[in-house]
Structure 1
């Protein structure tokens, strides 16, 4: 396999991986590990550097999602923070919240 074919396959796999995620499918961990291994193979064979592959990944991610990896990561963190449930009201014992005393009166 030549360099161009190998790098084209990496781009195809990245696009598939990101597109599945965008469409609401959680790609299996095995797919991510295979992709990472495939990319490490490109570095090992001298087809690309890690920095070059990082830029390829960033570009494809932007093509698929319309935002950078970091922007999407921050957006996800913000969404997670919004969904955090405030459990403060449960710090008070249930019988006190119900307006009863410990003796039942």
Structure 2
């Protein structure tokens, strides 16, 4: 397998993980297999760790419309809001409370 074919397969697998997550049906088995696949590619020299991070970040941006860090911050803020006050949490528009 050459580098371009490997990257294409990584993209397909990552997109599937993100599609399922976005649909509210995360598949941890698929996620871990995708991570293992990418680690094997790194071991074989088909992809560097930086290339993998860039690919993951790019596909995350495409799927969710925000960076991984932005999504994590939003989810943390909502979780803190939920712990502090359910009223304040539900005052937040539903579109903003999506996972």
| Matched pairs, number | 85
**Could you tell me the TM-score, scaled by structure 2's length?**
0.80
Task: State whether residues 43 and 50 of structure 1, in contact with CA within 8 Å, keep that contact through their aligned partners in structure 2.
Answer: yes
Cα deviation digits, residues 31-59 of structure 1 (max 9, x gap) = 12101100001101111101110000000
Could you say which residue in structure 2 is the equivalent of 1:33?
A: 32
**Could you tell me the TM-score, scaled by structure 1's length?**
0.75
Write the distance in 1 (CA, Å) between the matches of 2:64 and 2:12.
15
CA RMSD of aligned residues (A): 1.2
Is structure 2 residue 78 aligned with structure 1 residue 73?
no
Task: State whether residues 22 and 64 of structure 2, in contact with CA within 8 Å, keep that contact through their aligned partners in structure 1.
Answer: yes
Q: Which has the larger radius of gyration?
A: 1
- Structure 1 unaligned residues grouped into runs of 5+: 87-105
Task: State whether residues 62 and 68 of structure 1, in contact with CA within 8 Å, keep that contact through their aligned partners in structure 2.
Answer: yes
> Which runs of 4 or more aligned residues in structure 1 lie more than 2 Å from their structure 2 counterparts after TM superposition?
none
Write the distance in 2 (CA, Å) between the matches of 1:23 and 1:8.
22
